[in-house]
């Protein structure tokens, strides 16, 4: 008996094809993404990410607000590191100039921190869409954004755990956001570690890897390609995300 040409495209979930006809439920999707992601992506193959993206943005902002007590000290440490380097490289930069810049930069950092989640999701969706084209996966930008949005849900858990650490642990010595992460950078010092190595180490966060795996599953299910191609595309997206760290 010959093997059907699309046999290697079958999802891990035996009922994923039937699930594609189910009416999407946000509650089910937000729960099942943790243990049955193929079914979630099958139900969402026509796209539709606006409300899930809004919920993810609001939840992340809420957890960040709960962590606001540690935000100022992290900003102070980062600002001091950067301005000390700027003053060392350019003698014309004075302490008075630095002091004038600080309030504005802190305000910008706070606003950016609350807006970064939807911006990142939409930008990564563009990368997913471009990479999908390269591997011959049939994805629209809307579908790519849907994949990226639902794959992001475990990272909301990361934000929750970050807030929990701020509330339950002594964070008086925290001077880097990575000190609360679940990556090797948690155990590194931002003052003594090479910035490139520090940024790359931070990229290998447990939840970032989980997110990448979900991207691969979503690309395979919605893009109708073998799971191996989905994971390849997700790995490329992950590597593209690391590139900015090389220019730290």
Residue 14, domain member (yes or no): no
Residue 11, domain member (yes or no): no
Helix and strand element counts for the chain (H, E): 11, 0
Residue 5, domain member (yes or no): no
Task: Kindly tell me if the per-residue pLDDT of 48 is higher than 70.
Answer: yes
- Predicted confidence at residue 140, as pLDDT, reads 94
Residue 12, domain member (yes or no): no
- Predicted confidence at residue 198, as pLDDT, reads 86
Distances (CA, A) of 224 to 7, 33, 136, 201, 238: 11, 18, 9, 33, 20
- Predicted confidence at residue 23, as pLDDT, reads 65
Residue of 189 and 132 predicted with greater confidence: 132
Residue 23, domain member (yes or no): yes
Number of domains in the chain: 1
Print burial letters for 157-194: b (CB count within 10 Å at least 16), e (below 16).
Answer: ebbeebbebbeeeebeebbbbbbbbbbbbeebebeebe
- What's the whole-number average pLDDT of the chain? 83
Q: How far apart are CA 211 and CA 114, in angstroms?
A: 20
Beta-strand runs (E) in the chain: none
Domain range for 130: 19-247
Residue 31, domain member (yes or no): yes
Residue 4, domain member (yes or no): no
Q: How far apart are CA 89 and CA 83, in angstroms?
A: 10
**Percentage of the chain with pLDDT > 90?**
43
Residues 118-132, mean pLDDT to the nearest whole number: 95
- Predicted confidence at residue 248, as pLDDT, reads 60
Task: Kindly tell me if the per-residue pLDDT of 145 is higher than 80.
Answer: yes
85 CB-near residues (< 8 Å, 6+ apart): none
Q: What is the pTM of this model?
A: 0.80
Lowest-confidence segment of 18-22, 27-31, 137-141 by average pLDDT: 18-22
Task: Kindly tell me if the per-residue pLDDT of 87 is higher than 70.
Answer: yes
Task: Kindly tell me if the per-residue pLDDT of 109 is higher than 80.
Answer: no
Residue 30, domain member (yes or no): yes
CB atoms within 10 A of CB 62: 14
Distances (CA, A) of 147 to 10, 14, 31, 169, 228: 18, 20, 15, 34, 17
């Amino acid at each position: 008996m010959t093997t059907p040409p699309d046999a290697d495209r079958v999802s891990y979930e035996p009922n994923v094809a039937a699930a594609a006809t189910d009416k999407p439920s946000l509650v089910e999707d937000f729960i099942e993404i943790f243990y049955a992601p193929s079914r979630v992506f099958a139900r969402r193959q026509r796209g539709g990410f606006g409300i899930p993206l809004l919920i993810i943005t609001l939840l992340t902002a809420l957890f960040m607000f709960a962590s606001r007590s540690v935000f100022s000290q992290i900003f102070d440490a980062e600002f001091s590191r950067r301005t000390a380097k700027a003053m060392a490289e350019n003698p014309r930069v004075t302490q008075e100039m630095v002091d004038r810049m600080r309030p504005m930069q802190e305000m910008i950092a706070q606003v950016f921190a609350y807006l970064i989640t939807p911006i990142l999701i939409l930008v990564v969706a563009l990368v997913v869409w471009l990479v999908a084209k390269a591997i011959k996966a049939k994805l629209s930008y809307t579908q790519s954004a849907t994949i990226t949005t639902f794959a992001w849900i475990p990272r909301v858990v990361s934000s929750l755990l970050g807030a929990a650490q701020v509330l339950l642990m002594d964070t008086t010595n925290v001077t880097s956001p990575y000190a609360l992460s679940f990556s090797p950078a948690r155990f590194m010092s931002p003052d003594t570690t090479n910035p490139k190595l520090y940024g790359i180490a931070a990229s290998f966060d447990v939840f970032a890897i989980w997110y990448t795996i979900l991207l691969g599953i979503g690309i395979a299910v919605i893009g109708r390609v073998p799971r191996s191609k989905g994971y390849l595309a997700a790995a490329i997206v992950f590597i593209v995300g690391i590139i900015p760290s090389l220019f730290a």
